[in-house]
Each structure stands twice: as structure tokens, then as C-alpha cells.
Amino acid sequence: MRILHSILLCSLCVFAPFTAFCGEKVELVILHVNDTHGKMQPYEAGEWGEVGGLARLSTLIKQTRRENPGRVLFLHAGDILSRGDPVTVYYGGRINFRAYEKMGVDAITPGNGEFYMGIENLQKQAARVSIPFIHANALYRNHGNSIFPPYVIKEVNGIKIGILGLGLVRTWHNSSQKLTLGDPIEVAKRYAPELSAKVDLLIALTHIQAKNDSLLAAAVPELDLIVGGDSHTQLDSPSRIPRANGQGFVPIVQARHYFQFMGRVDIELERDGDKVRVNKVDGRLIAINAETTPDPEIENFIAQYAAPLNEVIARSEIELKNDRDAPSPLGDLVVNAVLSQTRADIAVIYGNQGEFDIKPGDITLADINRIRWYHSRLVTARLTGAQIQQLLAARFYNVAGCRFTKAENQVTDLRINGQPVDPAATYLVATEQQIAFSNSVFESVHVDFTGQRVDTALEAHLRRVAVIR
């Protein structure tokens, strides 16, 4: 049974003056990261120098556990996948989750980035590890059940800790079409009373942005701590939000992004019989940089999966510049690869996702996975000439197999295979699933999945051509 009293935040302790409470002191250490976005290996961050690295984080976690035996809880507040290292992209997150399993993460709330490679991929990868994935408000459209368990209960140093997962899903994204998103505050209001009665400490592990964490803290008085993500907020010390019931504050923590920091929260509780009270909460960020020696176990684990990505699959004799929002040599390469592999009349794909150019020299598997961050599935559909004009007018796409003039969002002089397009005739269009699910021109047509992705089409194309001149 918990007693909700005020909390010491940043070394300021507030006690309920009317309560006599003398009991055993119990200490907990909560470690947390968020928005790591697949950056498993160290990288340069401008004036910060070399930062990050999953192996360095592992060193800090092991050190903290040695210094605080039996008192440590390790949480991840989401966006483990999306973008990131080629290892993350190529293996669909499998290596990331296995590494976290080795590091003993106690719970993960998936961020929106975990869904970009598809619900099926996320569930497959989550099922391969023993890590609790929790998400109370991502619900299946057809039956309303949550995609993962809403919470998990952990016992650390004799304290029962309830961890409630609340997240953000981009329901407009094709990978989330099967889902609906419940309001995180309303969902928390529903779960918090029953969960609070079962535990001594209640944590919301969230991926809903810091501003919404503040609203959550004010609305749900049962919460003792919010460990947040999504907004990439650097909270050097916990923020504190007054509870709506006037009984103290709820601390909120978040640790920026990309493994630049590990967050640490020190909690002192007091137990008297079956009653537990939070006495104080302190929080800080610990830099992850070159001063920390990487954990060789995690470093070697990542290296063995990174090695195959060094395979040379082609060579370029020219520089291929990238532009996400305008035609570019690299964009032309990728969309022409899609066209050749699907044998469609035209190919239409998004601008390349990565901020990456191909320099003259060898092209490796790693390079391909730097160009395309997500596992974008390819589809084909038959569209009329008029529908293709409408599609191309909507926004900038990389396009192959046709020529046209575009001004003020109007497409004119559209030609396919050098011939003027017949507005009533149909043509086979290859595109990404994301485009097919978000553009209205596809609503009335049948869409076929090719079994390919943009990255695999590019790989097959480059292996075939061997040299780019």
C-alpha cells in the first residue's frame, strides 16, 4: 500500500506535516534513455566531439549495478528503431533488442519509430527477446485490445514497481493502419488507480512529448514518476508538476537523444509495515562520451553483425549527391532501381531519407541502409493518366519512366515512354506502401504487394549493374 506524499525534487524534500511515519529507508536507482534512434555505434556530434554508443551505455549500466546491487531499474522510453546505424536498419531492430536484452533492460515503451518498419516486424522482434514491451494506448482497430500489455510490475529491492506504458503512434503511417491511438491521459486515468493499489511505486514510461508529460502529471495523482521521450528534451534535473489533488509533485525526467546521455534517478522510500512513502527523488544526466570505455561484450556483439554490411556490391565512378526535396543523382539511382526491378511503366518514391551522398569508390550494403532508413515495401497499381497527373502534383517525389512539367502544383505535358499520356488509359505504377496508403488516388484501385522493398530493389539493381558511370 502506498501513501502519496510530496517528493524531494532536486534535493528539496517536502514532508506531510500531519503524518507520523518512521520506518526502514529503501533506495532505488532508475536508469533511463529515450529516442536513441538506432545509433548503436559512437558518432561525431559537432562541438560535443565523439558521443554515444550502446556499448558505452552498457558500461555505465554495469558500473551502476555494481555500486548499487539489487537496487537498479533500467527503462527505455521509445524510438529505438527508425533512422540510425545500418545494423539497425538492415536487421529490422533485431540486433538492437537482443543487445538490450543482454544489458538487462526492464521495460520498453515502443515509440512511433518502432512502428515504421511495420507492426508485424515489431511484434516479431519483440517476441524474440524476454524484454517486457508495454503500451497501454496503442489499440487494434478491429477489437480494441492493446498491441502490447499495458503495464508490467517489477520488484526491486523489496519494492513493487508498476510501470505503465503510454506512447505515440503515427496512425496516418501505413505501418499503423491497423491501430488506433487512445488518449494517453484518459488511458492512464483508467489504469492508474488499479495499478497503484497493487504496487509501492507507480511509474509512467511514456513516449508522448514533454509537454504532454506535464499534462499527464497534473491529471493523474497516483503517479510517482514519469520517464519520458519523443520530444528529445534534455532535462538536466527533473521537472516537477503539482498534482491536481494538491498532494505534492510528480517528477518528470527525459534524457535528450541519440545516446548522448543516460538519465539517473535516485529515489529514497520509507517502509513502515505494509505502507511505503516516497521521501525524495533526485535526478541527473550522465554524459555518454569517449571518457567511458565501451563494454567489450556489447561492442563485439554489434561488430559481428556489422561485418557483413561491409560487403562491396558495386562501384561508382562519380559522386551521387542526395536531396530529399528535389531531384538528385542519388534519388534518380534509387527510383530507377525500383523501376527496373518492378518492370512497371513508371516508379514513384519519396525523396531519400538519409542525409548521405555516395562518393566515388566502393558501394557497400551499409551504404544502402544509410540511404533508406525504413523498410519501405513496394507495391504496384494501375492508375489512369489523369490519376498519375494528380499523384505527381501532390508533392515532390523521385520519379522514373516519365517526363512532365510542373508549375504551381499543376502537372502538364506528361509523357510515359516518350509518348503523351492518355488521361483515360491505365499504366502500371510502382510506388512505396506509404504513398499508396496516404494518397487518395489509390483509394479506388487494387494495390498489389511486390514482395520487395526499396532497399532490396536498390541492392539487386546495384549487384546487376556493378559499376555506375
DSSP 3-state of 391? helix
Residue 5: predicted pLDDT: 45
Please tell me the predicted confidence (pLDDT) of residue 216: 98
Do the bridges between strand 312-316 and strand 361-364 make them parallel or antiparallel, or are there none, so unpaired?
A: antiparallel
347 Cβ contact list (under 8 Å, min separation 6)? 335, 336, 338, 339, 399, 400, 401, 429, 430, 431
pLDDT of residue 361: 97
Task: Identify the pLDDT of residue 7.
Answer: 38
**pLDDT in single tens digits along all 469 residues of the chain:** 555 444 333 333 333 433 455 689 999 999 999 999 999 999 998 888 999 999 999 999 999 999 999 999 999 999 998 778 999 999 999 999 999 999 999 999 999 999 888 888 899 999 999 999 999 999 998 888 889 999 999 999 999 999 999 998 876 666 677 889 999 999 999 999 999 999 999 999 999 999 999 999 999 999 999 999 999 999 999 999 999 888 899 999 999 999 999 999 999 999 998 899 999 999 999 999 999 999 999 999 999 999 999 999 999 999 999 988 889 999 999 999 999 999 999 999 998 766 689 999 999 999 999 888 778 889 999 999 999 999 999 899 999 999 999 998 899 999 999 999 999 999 999 999 889 988 899 999 999 999 999 999 999 999 999 999 9
Q: Which contiguous run of DSSP H or E holds residue 213?
A: helix 210-219
Residue of 355, 372, 371, 367 lying closest to 311 (CA atoms)? 367
**3-state SS class at 32:** strand
Predicted pLDDT at 2 = 58
**CA–CA gap between residue 390 and residue 410 (Å, rounded):** 8
Q: What is the pLDDT of residue 170?
A: 76
The predicted structure's pLDDT at residue 14:
38
397: closest CA among 325, 309, 320, 315? 325
DSSP character string of 281-347: EEEEEEE-BTTSPPPHHHHHHHHHHHGGGG-EEEEESS-B---SSS--HHHHHHHHHHHHHHT-SEE
Residues near 210 by beta carbon (within 8 Å), at least 6 away in sequence: 228, 231, 233, 235, 239, 252, 254
- Domains of the chain in sequence order: 2-306 (3.60.21.10), 311-468 (3.90.780.10)
Q: Residue for cell digits 528539496?
A: 12
What is the distance of C-alpha 352 from the center of its chain?
A: 19
Q: Which grid coordinates are listed for 154?
A: 517489477
Three cell numbers, residue 55: 556499448
- E-strand ranges in 41-183 read 43-44, 50-51, 72-76, 107-108, 138-140, 151-156, 159-166, 179-181
Looking from the CA of 346 toward its CB, the CA atoms found within 13 Å total 29
At 177, list the grid cell.
493502419
